[in-house]
């Protein structure tokens, strides 16, 4: 992984390209598309679920497929650019990303969308490392910092834009295409960027390109898929024995991967991962904490969106605009931590960020459980700002602080490992939170029924139904809510929900109570899941204690920018 991202070499453009700022605008558009597509899909998840009649596990794959494929290709994409030329690999990635976006937008079933998202993520993983390398070899040193700062700023804004734009596109239902424009919008932008890149970008490659580690890549990707697949599918299938066999096989494959990488390093064969990095104990533990952070946060974005739309019944636009407050908090937290706090307080900023994020989770969970279906957008503003601020305080300075724990010559390899860990952590987070959230949603359905029972009884009494009839309706209602919460496929209506009420007024009462019970159940489950996130964040804070007390922000020019440009999965 030592060439995944531009390293601290002295590669400088011999002749200034007069069209370099035009080329910069092209790669800026490409990077923006990648980050936009990570965030925009989260707001559309409930609409996709309803339209394609997707099961919960398939929804998890729609989110995780992108980051898994991105991580898998990111591992070796930088080397491909070094060997075959960065412009050529960038153009392949851009063309593939555009075609995959079209396939996503034209998907007719969940399987097709998941497969298209895998391809889309892989093409983004191919494209993004070339963007950073192109910036490095196109601009002289006195302009490079400005270009990277602009790129980082635009990349950071993609999160907020994706949240709001996703909600608006789904809400507008352009040409009656529902959620599909969130992917189809990439086609004209991608085609224009592709032609512009072919015309204005200059090609470059490494004078001493490394060899590809194909076997290492296959083992690494295999270990991750062997772990993520059974975790994601286990609940749907009832946890058969083979799911545990696959998890065991994942551990074995990981051991084989480490052994192979050590052997390749001894024989001078350009290993995929430089295992010498782990000789630095602070870096190794810091990397573990970074991975745990993304496991804890990666799944949050999925259940948060489901809570607002599938639970509370909010429109995509309302959910997207409410979510912008998280992005605002993240921007403030990131700016303050990098510009003011991290250079002075070092690791304590990371620990404080984790604590602030955990406090925000606790506040948000309490509000959700306390107000249930009655919670309003304005009540979410404060906890979202707090969560976002803590998130930004951790994400922005972590990579540079951890890079300070390894020699400068290993900064490129370490940065690539940290960014790959972010993607893998997000995918694992989505898989694990799916087990926690949907299992609890099933087990806790009775609480939603209990919350609305007094209201149902009061309305049934007003409608003139005797007590025995009320008891029978409530028993049927409880069975319906329980069976629906237990369904693997949320679009299926259980038989217990099909019993005729025989009375339009009773039907209305039960339907409204069902929506309230669902909201209460989602709120309690959301609160429960946030406690899982709080526990993960506390472990992250403990891990950051392993960094030296005097650890300070290390200015690794290109690598630090990479931290800002990597998708955060909002």
Return the CATH number at 76: 1.20.1250.20
288-302, 495-509, 529-543: range with lowest mean pLDDT: 495-509
Question: Domain containing 159: what range?
Answer: 1-210
Q: Does 551 score more than 80 pLDDT?
A: no
CA–CA separation, 463 and 329 (whole Å):
48
412-441: pLDDT as tens digits: 677 778 888 888 898 899 889 888 998 888
- Residue 32's pLDDT is 81
CA–CA separation, 56 and 430 (whole Å):
11
Q: Are residues 164 and 263 in the same domain?
A: no
- Which pTM was predicted? 0.85
Cα 268 to its chain centre, rounded Å, is 35
- Residue 403's pLDDT is 79
CA–CA separation, 307 and 291 (whole Å):
25
48-82: pLDDT as tens digits: 988 998 888 899 899 889 989 998 888 788 888 88
Domain count for the chain, please give it. 3
- Residue 514's pLDDT is 84
Q: Which of 210, 232, 253 is the last residue of a domain?
A: 210
- Residue 553's pLDDT is 58
Q: Are residues 136 and 234 in the same domain?
A: no
Q: Does 143 score more than 70 pLDDT?
A: yes
Residue-wise burial string across 218-230, b where 16 or more C-beta atoms lie within 10 A, e elsewhere: ebbbbbbbbbbbb
Has residue 361 been placed in a domain? no
Encoded tokens for 387: 């969560």
Q: Are residues 68 and 85 in the same domain?
A: yes
- 380's CB contacts (< 8 A; 6+ apart) are 322, 325, 364, 367
Q: Are residues 117 and 262 in the same domain?
A: no
Residue 378 pLDDT level (bands cut at 50, 70, 90):
very high
- Residue 122's pLDDT is 93
Calculate mean pLDDT across residues 160-176.
80
Residue 501 pLDDT level (bands cut at 50, 70, 90):
low
- Residue 152's pLDDT is 67
328-353: pLDDT as tens digits: 898 888 888 877 888 888 888 999 99
Round the average pLDDT of the chain to a whole number and report it.
Answer: 83
267-287: pLDDT as tens digits: 877 788 888 888 888 888 889
Q: Does 556 score more than 50 pLDDT?
A: no
CB atoms within 10 A of CB 105: 19
- Residue 150's pLDDT is 76
Q: Are residues 148 and 34 in the same domain?
A: yes
Calculate mean pLDDT across residues 448-477.
86
| 324 phi-psi bin (left φ>0, alpha ψ -120 to 50, beta other) | alpha
- Residue 214's pLDDT is 86
Q: Are residues 483 and 504 in the same domain?
A: yes
Calculate mean pLDDT across residues 148-162.
70
DSSP structure class, residue 277? G
Q: Which of 521, 547, 562 is the last residue of a domain?
A: 521
Q: Are residues 478 and 509 in the same domain?
A: yes
Q: Are residues 28 and 121 in the same domain?
A: yes
Has residue 323 been placed in a domain? no
- Residue 564's pLDDT is 38
- 261's CB contacts (< 8 A; 6+ apart) are 213, 216, 271, 272, 273, 275
DSSP structure class, residue 275? G
CB atoms within 10 A of CB 208: 8
Has residue 355 been placed in a domain? no
CA–CA separation, 306 and 101 (whole Å):
23
179-200: pLDDT as tens digits: 999 999 899 989 998 999 888 8
Has residue 9 been placed in a domain? yes
Q: Does 258 score more than 50 pLDDT?
A: yes
Calculate mean pLDDT across residues 528-551.
88
CB atoms within 10 A of CB 189: 16
CA–CA separation, 391 and 360 (whole Å):
10
Residue whose token pair is 């952590």: 425
Calculate mean pLDDT across residues 217-222.
90
List the helix and strand counts (H, then E) for the chain. Answer: 19, 0
**Structure-model confidence comparison of residues 409 and 352, the more confident one:** 352
Q: Which of 161, 190, 210 is the last residue of a domain?
A: 210
Encoded tokens for 461: 């009494």
Q: Helix 467-486 and helix 504-544: axis angle, to 10°?
A: 40
Calculate mean pLDDT across residues 157-169.
75
Calculate mean pLDDT across residues 221-225.
90
Q: Does 560 score more than 50 pLDDT?
A: no
Has residue 276 been placed in a domain? no
Q: Are residues 75 and 185 in the same domain?
A: yes
Has residue 86 been placed in a domain? yes
- 150's CB contacts (< 8 A; 6+ apart) are 24, 28
- Residue 557's pLDDT is 46
Has residue 156 been placed in a domain? yes
CB atoms within 10 A of CB 558: 20
Residue 548 pLDDT level (bands cut at 50, 70, 90):
confident
**Structure-model confidence comparison of residues 15 and 48, the more confident one:** 48
385-406: pLDDT as tens digits: 999 999 989 988 887 788 778 7
DSSP structure class, residue 500? -
- Residue 554's pLDDT is 53
Calculate mean pLDDT across residues 557-569.
40
- Residue 5's pLDDT is 43
Q: Are residues 219 and 191 in the same domain?
A: no
CA–CA separation, 393 and 347 (whole Å):
11
224-244: pLDDT as tens digits: 899 999 998 888 888 999 999
Q: Are residues 249 and 206 in the same domain?
A: no
Q: Are residues 204 and 250 in the same domain?
A: no
Contact 558, 6 (CB under 8 A): yes
Rounded percentage of the chain residues whose pLDDT exceeds 70: 90
Residue whose token pair is 């370099």: 20
**Structure-model confidence comparison of residues 4 and 234, the more confident one:** 234
Radius of gyration of the chain (CA): 25
What backbone phi and psi angles, to 5 degrees, belong to 501? Answer: -85, -25
- Residue 159's pLDDT is 65
Has residue 89 been placed in a domain? yes
- Residue 570's pLDDT is 46
């Amino acid at each position: 992984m030592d060439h995944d991202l531009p390293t601290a070499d002295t590669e400088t453009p011999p002749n200034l390209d007069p069209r370099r700022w035009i080329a910069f605008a092209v790669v800026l558009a490409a990077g923006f598309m990648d980050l936009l597509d990570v965030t925009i899909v989260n707001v559309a998840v409930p609409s996709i679920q309803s339209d394609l009649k997707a099961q919960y596990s398939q929804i998890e794959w729609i989110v995780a497929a992108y980051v898994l494929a991105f991580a898998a290709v990111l591992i070796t994409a930088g080397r491909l650019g070094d060997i075959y030329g960065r412009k050529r690999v960038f153009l392949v990635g851009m063309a593939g990303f555009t075609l995959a976006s079209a396939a996503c937008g034209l998907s007719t079933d969940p399987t097709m969308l998941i497969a298209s998202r895998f391809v889309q993520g892989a093409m983004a993983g191919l494209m993004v490392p070339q963007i950073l390398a192109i910036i490095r070899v196109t601009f002289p040193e006195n302009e490079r910092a400005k270009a990277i700062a602009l790129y980082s700023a635009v990349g950071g804004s993609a999160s907020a834009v994706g949240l709001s734009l996703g909600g608006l596109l789904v809400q507008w239902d352009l040409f009656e295409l529902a959620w599909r424009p969130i992917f189809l919008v990439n086609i004209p932008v991608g085609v224009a960027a592709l032609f512009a890149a072919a015309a204005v970008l200059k090609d470059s490659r490494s004078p001493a390109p490394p060899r590809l580690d194909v076997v290492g890549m296959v083992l690494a990707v295999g270990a991750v898929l062997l772990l993520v697949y059974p975790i994601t599918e286990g609940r749907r299938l009832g946890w058969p024995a083979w799911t545990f066999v696959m998890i065991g096989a994942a551990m074995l494959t990981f051991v084989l991967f480490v052994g192979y990488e050590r052997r390749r390093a001894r024989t001078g064969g350009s290993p995929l991962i430089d295992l010498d990095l782990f000789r630095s104990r602070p870096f190794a533990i810091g990397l573990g904490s970074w991975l745990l952070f993304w496991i804890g946060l990666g799944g949050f974005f999925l259940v948060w969106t489901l809570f607002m739309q599938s639970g509370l019944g909010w429109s995509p636009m309302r959910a997207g605009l409410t979510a912008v407050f998280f992005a605002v908090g993240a921007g403030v937290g990131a700016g303050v931590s990098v510009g003011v706090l991290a250079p002075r307080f070092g690791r304590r900023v990371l620990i404080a960020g984790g604590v602030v994020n955990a406090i925000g989770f606790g506040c948000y969970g309490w509000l959700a459980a306390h107000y249930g279906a009655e919670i309003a957008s304005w009540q979410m503003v404060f906890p979202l700002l707090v969560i976002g601020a803590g998130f930004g305080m951790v994400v922005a300075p972590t990579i540079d602080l951890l890079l300070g724990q390894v020699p400068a010559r290993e900064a490129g390899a370490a940065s690539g490992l940290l960014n790959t860990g972010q993607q893998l952590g997000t995918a694992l987070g989505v898989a694990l939170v799916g087990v926690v959230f949907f299992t609890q949603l099933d087990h806790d359905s009775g609480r939603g029924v209990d919350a609305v029972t007094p209201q149902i009884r009061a309305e049934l009494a007003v409608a003139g139904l005797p007590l025995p009839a009320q008891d029978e309706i409530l028993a049927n209602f409880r069975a319906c809510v329980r069976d629906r919460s237990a369904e693997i496929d949320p679009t299926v209506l259980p038989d217990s929900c099909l019993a005729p009420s025989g009375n339009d007024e009773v039907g209305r009462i039960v339907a409204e109570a069902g929506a309230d019970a669902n909201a209460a159940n989602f709120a309690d489950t959301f609160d429960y899941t946030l406690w899982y996130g709080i526990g993960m964040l506390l472990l992250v804070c403990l891990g950051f204690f392993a960094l030296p007390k005097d650890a300070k922000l290390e200015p690794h020019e290109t690598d630090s920018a990479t931290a800002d440009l990597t998708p955060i999965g909002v």
